[in-house]
Amino acid sequence: MTYSVAIAGASGYAGSEVLRLLLDHPAYASGELAIGALTAASNAGRSVGEILPHLAPLADRVIQETTPENLAGHDAVFLGLPHGHSAEIAAALGEGPDAPAILDCGADFRLSDPAEWRRYYGTEHAGSWTYGIPELPGGREAIASSRRVAVPGCFPTGGTIACLPATAAGLVEPQWSIVSVTGTSGAGKKAAVPMLGSEVMGNLRAYNTAGRHRHTAEFLQNLGGAGELSVSFTPVLAPTSRGILTVATAPLADPATTTAAARAAYAEHYAGEPFVQLLAEGLQPQTKSVVGSNMVQLQVEVDERAGRLLVTSAIDNLVKGTAGAAVQCMNLMLGLDETAGLPRAGLAP
């Protein structure tokens, strides 16, 4: 059997990264997976070679207009569209047995609480789909049995994986402070003055501070099973194109907890996870080690003097933070090897 996949928003960062990963997918190499329609808005009618020259094997393919008609008839459809555009396309593609599986890389279906959606996005809630972090409890099984998956935001991916074991095991009071340093590609490909090279180079800047960042709602949703949870999330823009380094801290529930005990809890929680690596004690995660890979690298420590747990994570925001997560979910949904086409080795230096 050959699976066909389409990518809407193929000329954007998320869509083009999905394509890069699919080109190295073993099912693509064997002919079991075919890359079907590639669609976009302003770039419709142009060739892949013109706008995405790094995708050399697809250079002669022509980008089509993003319409339900062009996306229908595939086994799976990736939506790499701006927030607010996925719901209409998904509705038009339908949900019957002949409808494609859909993986939405936007935010439209990530939140289960309509009030939280309205608070952060200011529009009516379109509904919620299966949330696409396989490493969440029950996540892998839910994704495999679903036909609609909401790919998580990049910040909540690294941050949730960093905070979840301590929250689930009751190692900390449910009061997380999360600071994430990110590259510019997380803002997408659209032109914007704050993303200009002359604005970003040699500069660090916090933004959407004091609970205003939309991904705060995802953190609360993902970690909210432990009583009165609070999350203070601060993103910081750095002059790099890829990568997110997250530092998360919370007060220890038991001040006598040791680093060894905390590390043991994390090692047990993520035992067997192919894309989560707990680094050896003393080694710190760094973005250059995970760029190009689908890995989450973690370090876990106890700050004895402060009485706090400190967890650091590093991911590539375009791979595990977006496109890699989408391909990982696609593999589960289509019954393929979950790890297929997803690199575990980074591109350092």
Q: Is residue 29 part of a domain?
A: yes
Check residue 85 and give its pLDDT. 87
Q: Is residue 195 part of a domain?
A: yes
Residues 252 and 264 in one domain: yes
Q: Is residue 111 part of a domain?
A: yes
- Tokens linked to 284: 């710190």
Give yes or no: 154 in active site: yes
**Amino acid (1-letter code) at residue 229:** L
Q: Is residue 235 part of a domain?
A: yes
Q: Is residue 13 part of a domain?
A: yes
- What is the 8-class DSSP label of residue 189? S
Residues 38 and 176 in one domain: no
Q: Is residue 342 part of a domain?
A: no
How many domains, in total, are found in the chain?
2
Residues 276 and 309 in one domain: yes
pTM of the model: 0.93
Residues 239 and 300 in one domain: yes
Q: What's the pLDDT band for 195 if we cut at 50, 70, 90?
A: low
Residues 133 and 175 in one domain: no
pLDDT of 348 over the 90 cut: no
Helices (H), the chain: 13-23, 26-30, 48-51, 68-71, 86-93, 114-121, 139-144, 154-169, 197-200, 216-223, 259-269, 324-334
pLDDT digits (tens, 9 = 90+) for 268-291: 999 999 999 999 999 999 999 999
Residues 209 and 114 in one domain: no
Range of the domain at 280: 155-315
pLDDT digits (tens, 9 = 90+) for 291-314: 999 999 999 999 999 999 999 999
Residues 55 and 173 in one domain: no
